[in-house]
Amino acid sequence: MCGIVGYIGFKDALSIILGGLEKLEYRGYDSAGVALMENGKVNVTRAVGKLSELKKLFVARPDSIKANIGIGHTRWATHGKPSEDNAHPHSAGRVSLIHNGIVENYVELRAKLIKEGSKFSSQTDTEIIAHLLNKYLEECKDSISALRKTVSDLKGSYAFVAFDARNPSELLIAKNASPIIIGQSEGEVFVASDIPAILSHTRQIVILHDGDLARVSLDGIYIEQDGKEIKRTSQIVTWDPITAQKGGYKHFMLKEIHDQPQSIADTIRARINRESGKIDLAEFDFSAEEVAKFNRIILIACGTSWHACLVGKFYFEKIARIPCEVDYASEFRYREPVLDKNTLVLAVSQSGETADTLSAIDSSAKFARTAAICNVLGSSITRKVEKVLFTHAGPEISVASTKAFTTQLSALYLLALDFGAKKGSLNNDDLLRHSKTLLRLPLLLEEALACEESARKIAKDFSSARDFLYLARGECYPVALEGALKLKEISYIHAEGYPAGEMKHGPIALIDENMPVVVVLQKSDVLFDKTISNLREVESRDGKIIAVTDTKGHEELHRITSNVIEVPHISELLSPILLTIPLQFLAYYIAIFNGTDVDQPRNLAKSVTVE
């Protein structure tokens, strides 16, 4: 999730672009760059690290001419680690280009362009677009035709802005799945990936839609869809700058809960062949021979990532038929586990900087094969393991993890499919069935988000409770743990997650009319009815029940409690992802009603880099 800013006008483009990127740095911050048209020449300046590193380069160049047109970018790496070569803007011939998104078919496009003589200087998918546009600008009669041809070659999500050194008065824009807006003001035009970047200059914006191509200049804005010119009405933004950074949501946590359909789509995108269901994990390429040797997988992590590992165990054992253990990294690092080269130690970490997880890898790398699932390119863990599978959740700002968790689950599912296919424990039909199911997830997640209002109402009724019990079975037991953790993290209310079948061996003693019991019931031939009987045990002790399920309109359930939150059903194995959503909302709204600092809760850090 990168930040994009473009400007044409009469003011100093550099300060407007740097000012805009500053407001977008929450979107990505591992490198940055700008391209300015100065004196008929395009000047590209890029730097690794925070925006401040880029600014330093301009402070050192007080003589730079005041440019009135330019583009700028802050990067959140997805392809190619943070480096100056991989920073945007990327140039090819007459084109300078910035991009936010993931080009799915970049490997084959790159090979084709190299055959045609293109020279690449980065590992990014973005540089391909610059070469394509340059090629077509040379071939086509006008810039829009060149843009049309460029996007017709691309598959994936993209929002890019380019300028052509031979047409220095216009910017070219294309949008598909990633956000991009145009801002209008007297004698100026702004382009940005998000409202905060331009809010201090204008509140009049045009939001581009998927498939829109645009050419903006001081003479006007031309937009087309499928080759036909269209008009997009401009809107007036009323948000204050802080709310704008949160996409109009009150907190980053709520924004990140709503980001999940996109972050899952970006995480599975380009990794599933829609025809065959075959999984292609490019950078995470253990061979079939290596996978066949794995007789044990040990998943290690901390916090929410540890809960993801508990679900991952079901995926590796049920799909890939590989025995799987899960351990807290802080315990594993001192446990001196029995390891050998047929064991894969797989670390899961959103930040890639959690000290316990890093040390757990250090303590096993000499004895076992190692790998990681991580959300941050260039983070420490990526330099400690043999292979890394990146989730593409984008930056997660709120301390309580939400979208990183669900993207970790989808990455673990992908990996189990890959290993299952390589080991032969999954035949082609099953692989295609599983892959097709996973591809339905982003849309069903969108539907599941509709439970927000019912979760808010129930949260209101229960926000004064001081203890909660979360119960579930099977692959949803870790979801109960995650729901309890979310509530603890942001509302400071005591909560425990427990396997529902284990309740009668202890926690049932806690149940009375003051103890809310949140029960997760996934559609399942066996476990649903078992969990219903646990519900009856709670009901008979006057426990107050909140039920979260993917079984619509279940009569007995609605008889037992009126506090039922329903989400769509996908499959038993993937139900943890959809059933987590109501628990995220429940925790969020209970915290809101208790007035705690949701994004920066007390005593917690986004990543604990000390032991």
List of residues 6+ apart from 296 with CB closer than 8 A:
322, 323, 324, 325, 342, 343, 344
Q: How many residues does the chain have?
A: 611
CB closer to ligand BG6 out of 237 and 587: 587
Pick out residues in 284-303 that bind ligand BG6 (CB under 6 A): 302-303
Tell me which H or E stretch contains 370. Answer: strand 369-374
Q: Residue 380 corresponds to which tokens in the numbers above?
A: 């420490």
Determine how β-strand 296-301 pairs with β-strand 343-349: parallel
CB closer to ligand BG6 out of 216 and 400: 400
The Cα-based distances of 24 to 318, 365, 448, 568 in angstroms read 42, 38, 28, 34
Taking CB under 6 A as the rule, does residue 267 contact ligand BG6? no
Query: Which residue in the set 401, 561, 563, 575 belongs to the binding site for ligand BG6 (CB under 6 A)?
Result: 401
Taking CB under 6 A as the rule, does residue 330 contact ligand BG6? no
- For ligand BG6, which stretch binds (CB under 6 A), given 40-48, 287-295, 396-404, 586-594? 396-404
* Cα 354 from Cα 360, distance rounded (Å): 10
- What is the x/- site pattern for ligand BG6, positions 358-377, by CB under 6 A? --------------------
CB closer to ligand BG6 out of 164 and 396: 396
Q: How far is the CB of 346 from ligand BG6 (least distance, A)?
A: 13
List of residues 6+ apart from 396 with CB closer than 8 A:
256, 350, 375, 402, 403, 404, 606
- The site that binds ligand BG6 (CB under 6 A) totals a number of residues, namely 17
- For ligand BG6, which stretch binds (CB under 6 A), given 182-190, 345-353, 426-434, 554-562? 345-353
Taking CB under 6 A as the rule, does residue 379 contact ligand BG6? no
* Cα 504 from Cα 535, distance rounded (Å): 11
Taking CB under 6 A as the rule, does residue 399 contact ligand BG6? yes
Taking CB under 6 A as the rule, does residue 357 contact ligand BG6? yes
* Residue 402 DSSP label: S
Q: Across the chain, how many H-helices and E-strands are there? A: 20, 25
Taking CB under 6 A as the rule, does residue 312 contact ligand BG6? no
Angle between helices 575-594 and 452-462 (to 10 degrees): 50
Taking CB under 6 A as the rule, does residue 331 contact ligand BG6? no
| 603 three-class SS | coil
> CA end-to-end span of the chain, whole Å?
30
Active-site position among 2, 324, 374, 451: 2
Taking CB under 6 A as the rule, does residue 354 contact ligand BG6? yes
Taking CB under 6 A as the rule, does residue 380 contact ligand BG6? no
- Name the residue with tokens 């080009």: 103
DSSP string, 157-210: EEEEEEEETTSTTEEEEEEEBS--EEEEETTEEEEESSGGGTTTT-SEEEE--T
Query: Which residue in the set 74, 305, 380, 563 belongs to the binding site for ligand BG6 (CB under 6 A)?
Result: 305
Residue nearest to ligand BG6 (CB): 303
Q: Residue 508 corresponds to which tokens in the numbers above?
A: 């049932």
Query: Which residue in the set 443, 450, 526, 604 belongs to the binding site for ligand BG6 (CB under 6 A)?
Result: 604
Taking CB under 6 A as the rule, does residue 580 contact ligand BG6? no
Residue whose C-alpha is closest to residue 197's, from 65, 470, 454, 2 = 2
Question: Which residues lie across from 349 on neighbouring strands?
Answer: 374
Q: How far is the CB of 70 from ligand BG6 (least distance, A)?
A: 35
Diameter of the chain measured on Cα atoms: 80
- With beta carbons less than 8 A apart as the criterion, state whether 124 and 144 touch: no
Among positive and negative, which fits the CA dihedral 27, 43, 164, 218? Answer: positive
500 alpha-carbon distance from chain centroid: 31
Q: How far is the CB of 380 from ligand BG6 (least distance, A)?
A: 11
Taking CB under 6 A as the rule, does residue 263 contact ligand BG6? no
Q: How far is the CB of 234 from ligand BG6 (least distance, A)?
A: 39
- For ligand BG6, which stretch binds (CB under 6 A), given 87-95, 346-354, 458-466, 499-507? 346-354
Q: Residue 66 corresponds to which tokens in the numbers above?
A: 């005041």
* Cα 320 from Cα 360, distance rounded (Å): 24
Taking CB under 6 A as the rule, does residue 524 contact ligand BG6? no
Q: How far is the CB of 486 from ligand BG6 (least distance, A)?
A: 9
Q: Among this protein's residues, is 436 annotated catalytic?
A: no
DSSP string, 237-263: ----HHHHHTTT-SSHHHHHHHTHHHH
- With beta carbons less than 8 A apart as the criterion, state whether 5 and 190 touch: yes
- For ligand BG6, which stretch binds (CB under 6 A), given 15-23, 133-141, 348-356, 497-505? 348-356
* Cα 311 from Cα 479, distance rounded (Å): 8
Pick out residues in 11-30 that bind ligand BG6 (CB under 6 A): none
CB closer to ligand BG6 out of 122 and 401: 401
- With beta carbons less than 8 A apart as the criterion, state whether 91 and 121 touch: no
Taking CB under 6 A as the rule, does residue 350 contact ligand BG6? yes
CB closer to ligand BG6 out of 350 and 531: 350
CB closer to ligand BG6 out of 48 and 302: 302
CB closer to ligand BG6 out of 343 and 408: 408
CB closer to ligand BG6 out of 261 and 352: 352
CB closer to ligand BG6 out of 92 and 372: 372
CB closer to ligand BG6 out of 118 and 350: 350
Taking CB under 6 A as the rule, does residue 382 contact ligand BG6? no
Q: Among this protein's residues, is 451 annotated catalytic?
A: no
Q: How far is the CB of 487 from ligand BG6 (least distance, A)?
A: 13
Angle between helices 303-318 and 403-423 (to 10 degrees): 30
CB closer to ligand BG6 out of 238 and 603: 603
Query: Which residue in the set 230, 443, 509, 605 belongs to the binding site for ligand BG6 (CB under 6 A)?
Result: 605
Could you write out the three-class secondary structure of 520-553? EECCCCCHHHHHHHHHHHHHCCCCEEEEEECCCC
- For ligand BG6, which stretch binds (CB under 6 A), given 19-27, 87-95, 350-358, 421-429? 350-358
Active-site position among 246, 387, 544, 606: 606
- What is the x/- site pattern for ligand BG6, positions 415-454, by CB under 6 A? ----------------------------------------
Which residues are the active-site residues?
2, 606
* Residues found near ligand BG6 in the complex (CB under 6 A): 302-305, 349-351, 354, 357, 399-401, 604-608
